Structures are given as C-alpha cells and as structure tokens.
Amino acid sequence: MLFSTVRNRMKSVKNIQKITKAMKMVAASKLRAIQTRAENSRGLWQPFTALLGDMPSVDVKKNVIVTISSDKGLCGGINSTSVKISRALYKLNSGPEKESKYVIVGEKAKAQLIRDSKKMIDISFTELQKNPLNFTQVSVLADDILKNVEFDALRIVFNKFQSVVSFIPTTATVLSPEIVEREAEAGGKLGELDLYEIEGAETKGEVLQNLAEFQFACTMFNAVLENACSEQGARMSAMDSSSRNAGEMLDRLTLTYNRTRQASITTELIEIISGASALEG
C-alpha cells in the first residue's frame, strides 16, 4: 500500500512542478511586455512632482486612500503590503474633524479590506488588467474616481518595481486644487507657483483644476503599471521557489520510493529462500 501511495504522490508533485514552471514562464513573458512601458510612464508624473511637489505630510480634512493591488494571487506578499500601508494611512489621517475613505483597484485588496472596513470603501474596481493596460483606460478610471469622491488629498498606494526580486511599497500624493492654492499662498514648496504666468482666458483656479486632474491620471497610470510589474516579478519568484520546493520534495519521495522498493524486493527474496530451504529440509 505504501509503495503505490508514494508513487502516486511522486506523480502529483511532478505535475505541480510542471504547472509552477509554466506559470513562471508566463509571468516572465508578461513582465517583459509591461516593464518598458512602466519605466517610460515615470516620465509622465515626474514633471508634476517637480512643479506641484509630493507632500505626504500635508494636513487635510478629507483623505482618499487609493489602494492598488492585483486581481490574482500566487504573487507573494505584494497585496498584503499595500493593504497594511493603506490601513496605516487610514489610522494616521483619522481624527474628530477628519474623514478618510478607501478607493480600491484590484480584487485582492478588496477581499482584505472589505472584512473590517466595508463602510469606508467608496468605490472598487476589478479586472483592470483583463485587457492590456493603456493610458485611455486608466484615464477613464481616474475620471470616475474624481467624479464620485470628495477629497482634499488622494493618497495612491502601490508597489514600485525595482527588479524581479525587489519592489518598494510607495505612496504618491495628489492634492486638490483648493489645497494646492492654499499651500502656494502659505509659501514653502508650492510658493513658487505664483511665479508662473498664466496665458489665455483661464483663471488660476481653472489651471490648477486641470493640472490636478491630469496629474492624478498620469500618477495612476504609472502606479498601475509599476504594480503590474511588481506582481509579475513577485509571481516569478514565488513560482521559482515553488518549483524548487517541488524538486526537493520529489528527491525525498524518490528516496523513500527506492527504499520501499528495495525493502519489498528483499522481503520477497527472503521468503523465496526460506521456502526453498524448507523444501530441501
């Protein structure tokens, strides 16, 4: 019985190893397709950071935490990391005169946050990566968020891609036009905004409104691509580890299988020899 059980187990482990190796190859292929676009998209939001700054410590009343995660699992702890940071930001920006809400992109963050923060979730989006990601698609998503939530600061939580084995949990902050104007009047990092001349019929408020909307769309586009790269990199690492673990388990099972087979053969030989000896006697 043990002999056949070990053989069946070996067959199952071999099949699992084939699956994990295939998933690693698929993740590597997807990563190559997204990585260049993610690196190029960094040039979209960096000018806004230079102009409007990235002020995570700004004190505002209405905070919206945009948590970006994946729709699928088997990619290590990238989704848990994003959720932990989102919860920490929620606690940090909560108070008697403050209001914080969640906007969730991705099924995995939704599944975790809905357990204890269901009432705080304003909107959630899933299956964003069902089709290849493009700026138009993400712009529509960003527009939906801006139309349906009231905010002073949007805090976007995502994983910034570094390499296949490394990603950095990151928070990008996009301020509302009113807060940008308030901070500009107060001086500091945004004080230099008043040095720019506005051409055309648009007022300063209208320009800031347009800038805030475009900044959010560009930051979201980069964040979604960076997180997608991190997801595929983490999945490659996870599947590689799984394949190695399956190989080690297969080695141990092969050893057990050979020992069991040798013990069975030895037992049969002893029985044959004992039977022959009995007949001669």
Which tens digits make up the pLDDT trace of 130-179?
A: 888 899 999 999 999 999 999 999 999 999 999 888 999 999 999 998 88
Report in angstroms the alpha-carbon separations of 105 from 75, 152, 177, 204, 250.
16, 20, 24, 32, 39
Start-to-end Cα distance in the chain: 34
Which tens digits make up the pLDDT trace of 223-248?
A: 999 999 999 999 999 999 999 999 99
Question: Angle, nearest 10°, between helix axes 135-148 and 204-280?
Answer: 110
CA 202 vs. chain centroid, Å, equals: 39
Angle formed at CA 219 by CA 92 and CA 210, multiple of 5 degrees: 100
Provide the edge-to-edge strand list for the sheet that holds 62-68: 121-125, 99-105, 62-68, 153-163, 166-175
Report in angstroms the alpha-carbon separations of 199 from 177, 196, 204.
18, 10, 10
Q: Which residues pair with 67 in a beta bridge?
A: 104, 157
Backbone angles phi, psi at 160, to 5 degrees: -85, 130
**Mean pLDDT score of the chain, rounded to an integer?**
88
Q: Is 74 helix (H, G, I), strand (E, B) or coil?
A: coil
What per-residue confidence (pLDDT) applies to 210?
A: 85
Which tens digits make up the pLDDT trace of 54-68?
A: 777 888 899 999 999
